[in-house]
Copies of this chain bind each other. A is one copy, B any other.
Amino acid sequence: MDPILVEVTRGGRVESAHHGAAAVIDASGKVVFSAGDIDTAIFPRSAVKSMQALPMVETGAAARLGLTDAEIALACSSHNGEEIHTAVAASMLAKAGRDVSCLECGTHWPSHDASARKLAAAGLTPSALHNNCSGKHSGFICLSCDQGHDPKGYIGPDHPAMRMITAALSEMTGTVLDERNRGTDGCSIPTFAIPLRGIAHGFARYGTGNGMAPDRAAAAAKIRAAVTANPMMVAGTKRFDTLMMQAMGARVFCKGGAEGVFCASLPELGYGIAVKCDDGAGRAAQVVGAALIERFLRPEGEAGQAVARLARPALENWNKIHVGDLRPAAALA
């Protein structure tokens, strides 16, 4: 049984509690910190988008297509579907000579409620560009086209572009990925179950280049720089990953994933972080991530205050009354 990592309080009591596991691993593979079971495979979901974006950069596809840093950042995003996101996804597709009709992620209203309402108020409906994964998919299409593959069917595990993407994820996490540990993600691409230990080690390597081929290490550095310089691209208004990287800059390279996953690289320490909340709660994975970042990087000043707010967010009700808090539990102390 994994320990309680996060508590939710109300009226001075613990109202709810989140169990989970967390691994902090250095680039040599040594465990710096762990809580709970870090060896059972979990689905990292969207938290590994930056690993899935490696082939697009390391092959030179991004450079040949002239992708900007904002576009590379969007390829690693689970975005809000705000106008800045859909415009950048459309631009990526145009650079690949394609358009929205190539996207195979499905369509949903923007995750960002105000953007959804704005779209509706304009008498419009969403397209696949508004899907939170459209940047990642646009990146896959860029890779396919650059490599001379018809992007049609790129979401399938046997498409040549997806094979490259899965191979990169496998190498980075040191895990064999095949039909035995494969599921289907929300955007229809394969998602693979991988132990937290391997994911965290992968992010330690991602942040340092340690043990990586030169092209891959350079691609990782390029993507980290692009994402941390464009934190609005990777998520959006009021979102955790955006706020964290706005506060911490290049000191933190992070990404959440569905069902309570959070991953990060802390390049200056050479650490990788991987978190899975057993119950799938994103709110808890974020608190764990912020608490570990606070613990290991000890940010000060405004950045320190911003990270503290993310590690111990206050819960306010509709009348802005402070009714409770989320807080890291003893296992993270």
Q: Which A residues form the contact surface with B (CB < 8 A)?
A: 1, 8, 10-13, 15-19, 41-43, 104-109, 113, 116-121, 123, 131, 181-188, 191, 193, 259-260, 277-281, 284, 317-321, 323-324
Contact = CB atoms under 8 A, between A and B. Distances in A.
Nearest to A280: B16
A320 B106 CA distance: 9
A3 to B, nearest CB: 10
Given A109-B113, A183-B323, A259 B15 contact: yes
B17 A279 contact: yes
Contacts of A117: 109, 116-117, 119-121
A183 B317 contact: no
A319 to B, nearest CB: 4
A318 B106 contact: yes
A307 B25 CA distance: 45
B113 A319 contact: no
A185 B284 CA distance: 20
B183 A11 contact: yes
22 contacts: A8-B259, A11-B182, A11-B183, A13-B41, A13-B43, A15-B183, A15-B259, A16-B259, A18-B279, A106-B319, A106-B320, A109-B113, A109-B117, A118-B120, A120-B120, A131-B318, A183-B324, A184-B317, A184-B321, A188-B317, A188-B319, A279-B281
A13 B43 CA distance: 9
Nearest to A278: B17
B19 A279 contact: yes
A308 to B, nearest CB: 23
Contact of A1 (B1, B277, B280, B281): B1
A316 to B, nearest CB: 10
Given A113-B116, A279-B17, A188 B11 contact: no
A99 B107 CA distance: 40
Contact of A193 (B13, B260, B278, B317): B13
Contacts of A104: 319
A278 B6 CA distance: 11
Contact of A318 (B11, B107, B113, B259): B107
A189 to B, nearest CB: 10
Nearest to A193: B13
Given A109-B113, A120-B117, A278-B16, A323 B260 contact: no
A324 to B, nearest CB: 7
B318 A188 contact: yes
Contacts of A281: 279-281
A321 B188 contact: yes
A187 to B, nearest CB: 7
The 9 closest A-B pairs by CB, nearest first: A11-B183, A106-B318, A16-B280, A117-B120, A279-B279, A10-B183, A106-B319, A184-B323, A120-B121
Contact of A105 (B109, B188, B318): B318
A108 B114 CA distance: 12
A141 B317 CA distance: 20
